[in-house]
Amino acid sequence: MSSLTTYTKQQLALRNGQDKPQIWVAYKGLIYEVTESRLWRNGKHYEHWAGQDLTEELADAPHTETVFEKFTVIGVLI
């Protein structure tokens, strides 16, 4: 993996589709760009909100972590 930009939880929180137009989510320390996903319109995906680390929430999801493979990694959460 090339050198990725690091972002804090506060920076990630702004990419929630509301405060800034980007919609990002984190999983296992990586930040994914989900802006173009129809499932993340307005920064919400079912009961989950963008701009957050979803690592612990994935256990309740009806899908596995392979869902992240379709999205681009744009940074690392520090």
Q: Which tens digits make up the pLDDT trace of 40-51?
A: 999 999 999 999
Q: Which two tokens stand for residue 10?
A: 């506060």
pLDDT band at 18 (very low <50, low <70, confident <90, very high): very high
Look up the pTM and report it.
Answer: 0.92
Q: What is the mean pLDDT of residues 3-22?
A: 96
Q: What is the mean pLDDT of residues 12-25?
A: 96
How many other C-beta atoms can be found within 10 angstroms of the C-beta atom of residue 20? 15
| Residue where the block lists tokens 């992240």 | 68
How many other C-beta atoms can be found within 10 angstroms of the C-beta atom of residue 23? 24
Q: What CATH number is given for 5-77 in this structure?
A: 3.10.120.10
Contact 3, 19 (CB under 8 A): no
CA atoms of 38 and 76, how far apart (whole Å): 24
Q: Which tens digits make up the pLDDT trace of 30-71?
A: 999 999 999 999 999 999 999 999 999 988 889 999 999 999
